[in-house]
Chain A
Amino acid sequence: MPDNIQEQKDTEQQISRRRFLSYLGGGLVVGGLLLQGFAALRSLFPKVLYEPPKKFKVGMPSDFPEGVRFLPEHRLFIIRNDDRFHAISAICTHLGCTVNLAQYSPPKDYTSASGKEVSETFEFHCPCHGSKYRENGNVYAGPAPLPLPWFKLYLAPDGQIVADTNTTVNHDFRLKV
């Protein structure tokens, strides 16, 4: 460097003009890339989903026969026991296949985990990896890690049953009509 040109050196209080400008330029490049990357990534997480609602009417209580009825479009089982209703998901907790209904007549007897003799008229069997669920959704065979969830049911003002698949409930839940 010629003698008559003096480069400004960094001191403790201030940094040189050159260093400042290179930090500024580099920072703008990095900042711009981060912003664009974030925008691109964020755009892939939709804000609005044009999907069927998670709360829906499934019909009048009188539409349901005694026993179990499968609602394929909602992947949901509605079970009626006289005047009491409950709903069990048909989505296998292993990898999301739709479970099939296996009905038994005469009823099938088995000994529950607590040693009680129980008889059931139906079970749920998953076609994908062979998980099997009892009448109440508990797993007894196959790879499924969790029982089938029960969903909340309530009555709409027009008398129809509404299923709320956002809200899971305990096994003692019944909608009494």
Chain B
Amino acid sequence: MKNKIKSFMRSILWSYSPASEREAADSTARNFLLHWFPAKIATRSISFSYSMVLGTIILALFTILTVTGLVLMFLYVPSVGHAYWSIKDLEFVIPYGWFIRDLHRVAAQLMVATVFIHLMRVFLTGAYKQSTTVVGSYRPLNWWIGLALLLVTMMLSYTGYLLPWDQLALWAITIGDHIALSAPLVGPAISKILIGGTIIDQNTLIRWYVAHVFFLPLIIFMLILWHMWRIRKDGGLAAVEALGTERIQQDKVVAKGKTYSLMGIVQGITPTITQYRVRGESVNASPYVTRRILVIFVFVTAITMALAFYIKAPLEQPANLMWTPNPAKAPWYFLWLQELVADTTIRIKGFTISGGFVGGIIIPTVLLLFAAAWPLLDKSTDAAIGVWFHKSRRLQNTAFLAVVAVIVILIYVGAVMRGPYWHLYMPWQAWIKMPTRF
């Protein structure tokens, strides 16, 4: 009886207990959810010190965002007259509304940060590099998909930031719209498509809302799937590239059975199976990878929930075009751009180029183009693929870290050292008092 209960509980809670290595490997092919994974995975590939599991953390955060976002869609009204008050209701009336909103915001901010750290990890390990010897993989493609994912993540953050329709939202759109307007020739057309008129109003809100809840999530979801599929196509994480592959040949007796693969139809022969397997130690993806993913999901959810209790999502006064908050600041991950647009107006003998165009469009575009071209420009050895701080890439790693440092410093300056009227204040200096309401 005791055994019966035990096996019943086991069948509900955890039915998976393969009798052999072979059975474990087979289960990944048979199970719909498991077939994303390879049957076997190199231990080097799942080492924490190599990848720091950043991709899985991002996926966990994205899942939290999708679930909380769906709940928020029932509670938020995308109209100029109601948007602000539906957020007020979320904060003060709807049971646990504040918690769902804070969870969504904390997860979003963590996602932006983790996506950027992930990009740093991939650069510093040279994981975007195409090997000159291995055929059938093309790692630069996944780097480009990753850059697109970074952009879409930023766009999702930006569009989400606008929906509360408070002062923060309104002035963020105003600045974004004027950055678009500062582009020569196409500026006015882009601005018109972004805000749907000449002033920021209902047309703008509904456009950003649809982008935030439908178009951008759809795009990011497809890009995420492509990103993961490419890892499989490239033969796993770049860390395994150094291990090399070995060729295994074995004869396989095909048993008669119901299957839709070619093996099931061909009978009476013993085909020879040739495999190329990564050298070195490897483990079954199920349960070694699946278990780890579950643990990461639990950890990320727990940390996000804990942070959501302490970090409150701000809600400023209702959107008011008549009065700009002083200082008006973008969220932290855009502050380096705000610092740039404030500093980069170029004046040469009466001829002026707006900082909005230089700092808001040219510099980010150049950075992005550089990042995109880098896999093609990087001529370091194959030995540098999938290795942290390889000595042949010392110069480019230093240059990359310098760019990152500049961005971090600009964010710090924008966040801490800019007071009313965007004056520069040292951290120990007091800001002049400014009225906080109109």
List chain A positions with a Cβ less than 8 A from chain B. Answer: 44-46, 49-52, 72-73, 75, 93-98, 100, 125-130, 142-146
Contact flag A143-B355 (CB < 8 Å), given A44-B193, A44-B196, A51-B198: yes
> Bound state CA distance, A72 and B354, in angstroms?
25
> Bound state CA distance, A46 and B436, in angstroms?
36
Contacting residue for B354 out of A75, A97, A145, CB 8 A = A145
Q: Are A94 and B354 in contact (CB under 8 A)?
A: yes
Q: Are B326 and A127 in contact (CB under 8 A)?
A: yes
Inter-chain pairs besides A45-B193, A130-B342, A130-B422, 4 sampled, C-beta below 8 Å: A50-B201, A51-B198, A128-B327, A144-B345
Q: Are B323 and A98 in contact (CB under 8 A)?
A: yes
Q: Are B342 and A96 in contact (CB under 8 A)?
A: no
| Nearest CB of chain A from residue B356's CB, rounded to whole Å | 5
14 CB-based A-B contacts, threshold 8 Å: A44-B196, A46-B196, A51-B199, A75-B322, A94-B354, A96-B181, A98-B324, A100-B324, A125-B421, A127-B324, A127-B326, A127-B421, A128-B342, A143-B344
> Bound state CA distance, A139 and B356, in angstroms?
16
Contact flag A94-B322 (CB < 8 Å), given A46-B196, A46-B203: no
| Nearest CB of chain A from residue B410's CB, rounded to whole Å | 13
Give the residues in chain A near B171, CB-CB below 8 Å: 97, 128
> Bound state CA distance, A50 and B198, in angstroms?
10
Q: Are A97 and B324 in contact (CB under 8 A)?
A: yes
Give the residues in chain B near A144, CB-CB below 8 Å: 345, 354
List B residues 175-203 near A (Cβ within 8 Å): 175, 177-179, 181-182, 189, 192-193, 196-199, 201, 203
Main secondary structure of the interface of A (DSSP, over half): loop
List B residues 308-367 near A (Cβ within 8 Å): 321-328, 338, 341-345, 352-356, 360
Q: Are B197 and A128 in contact (CB under 8 A)?
A: no
Q: Which residue of B lies closest to A100 (CB)?
A: B326
Q: Are B354 and A128 in contact (CB under 8 A)?
A: no
Q: Which residue of A lies closest to B177 (CB)?
A: A96
Judge if B245 is at the interface, Cβ distance under 8 Å: no
The 7 A-B residue pairs with the shortest CB-CB distance in the complex, in nearest-first order: A72-B322, A130-B422, A127-B326, A129-B342, A143-B345, A145-B354, A96-B178
| Nearest CB of chain A from residue B284's CB, rounded to whole Å | 47
Judge if B290 is at the interface, Cβ distance under 8 Å: no
Give the residues in chain B near A94, CB-CB below 8 Å: 178, 341, 345, 354-356
Give the residues in chain A near B341, CB-CB below 8 Å: 94-95, 129, 143
Contacting residue for A97 out of B174, B201, B203, B360, CB 8 A = B174
Q: Are B192 and A45 in contact (CB under 8 A)?
A: yes
Q: Are B328 and A128 in contact (CB under 8 A)?
A: yes
Give the residues in chain B near A45, CB-CB below 8 Å: 189, 192-193
Contacting residue for A145 out of B197, B322, B345, CB 8 A = B345
Q: Are A127 and B345 in contact (CB under 8 A)?
A: no
Q: Are B352 and A128 in contact (CB under 8 A)?
A: no
Q: Which residue of A lies closest to B326 (CB)?
A: A127
| Nearest CB of chain B from residue A83's CB, rounded to whole Å | 28
Contacting residue for A129 out of B192, B323, B338, B438, CB 8 A = B338
| Nearest CB of chain A from residue B252's CB, rounded to whole Å | 41
> Bound state CA distance, A80 and B189, in angstroms?
37
